[in-house]
Amino acid sequence: TEAAADDATTILDAIIIGSGLGGICQAIKLKERNIHHFLILEKENDLGGTWRDNTYLGAECDVPIALYSYSFASADRHYETFLGQKAVLDYIREVSDKYRVTEHIRYGANVEGLSFDEDSCIWNVRVSGGGKYRARFVISAVGQLHHPKIPDFPGANQFQGEAFHTARFGSRNIDHFVGKRVAVIGNGASGIQIIPPLQKVCKELHVYQRTPSYIFPKVRLSRAEEKIIADFPIVRRAAREFLRMFAEGALYAAIKGEAWAQFALKKICDTNRSKVKDPEKRDKLH
């Protein structure tokens, strides 16, 4: 049941590329089927995927942790309804250690090429630095949220200030922005999360959006309610099932274009928007 050795001549049962939530889950499921002769190749020096790389202010999961967790490994140590970046990363590490996945990970192994030998039905995997592996199966668990998409604005190279993408926030902290004039371009999940902490300390904060987002109310439970859900498995399972039914019922129905679901969600979002007191700002959010 030990992790596979780093032997280029050995044929592994599987190679998993990436050690984010998807890669960790695939490893656990292999072990459940008594498949232990596999490796996880991770290009960075730590696991966690997007939760390792995105460290911007306010970064957190916008899905309740009762649902944004493995069905077989609830985040019962974490009481918050919505976990911040560090807490999600801690959860991934806890699960990886619990299921002994960490021993299968090879860090600094950036996969640079794959080729399939049809005669032997074996995958040949080439990693940075010249390393090579062979496996019967290759499972891709690579992510994309750590790859910045930076628009090519005319004249952007003439900007004399500091400019960076949230996916490249690095070690900056809140003190870095005190008294500064800051512009945030974009109002997706990252924009929605980073704007509130910036607003508290910046001298000026300007938000540039292309299309307004529908802003669904973020319902946070009380500390006592969160603790009850975390401490009692039956309540935790019920909360997860309720959230799953809502997500697959109303939200998925709206995405598919069903009128009743779109109407209901729009009404909820419009009610939330009506709480903005400034009429000019409220109109910009519509």
What pLDDT digit, counting tens, does each position of 135-153 carry? 999 999 998 877 888 888 8
What pLDDT digit, counting tens, does each position of 170-181 carry? 899 999 999 999
Asked if residue 284 has pLDDT above 90, the reply is no
pLDDT at position 35 is 96
pLDDT at position 205 is 96
The pLDDT of 201-222, averaged and rounded, is 88
* Residue, of 219 and 200, whose pLDDT is higher: 200
What pLDDT digit, counting tens, does each position of 245-275 carry? 888 888 889 889 999 999 998 898 889 889 8
Strands (E), the chain: 11-17, 38-42, 105-107, 111-117, 122-127, 132-140, 181-185, 204-208
If you ran DSSP here, which 8-state letter would residue 266 be given?
H
List phi, psi (to 5°) of 154. -60, 130
The pLDDT of 205-223, averaged and rounded, is 86
Query: How many angstroms separate the CA atoms of 279 and 198, rounded?
Result: 22
Q: Please check whether residue 21 is in contact with residue 92, taking contact to mean a CB–CB distance below 8 angstroms.
A: yes
Residue 282 banded pLDDT, cuts 50, 70, 90: confident
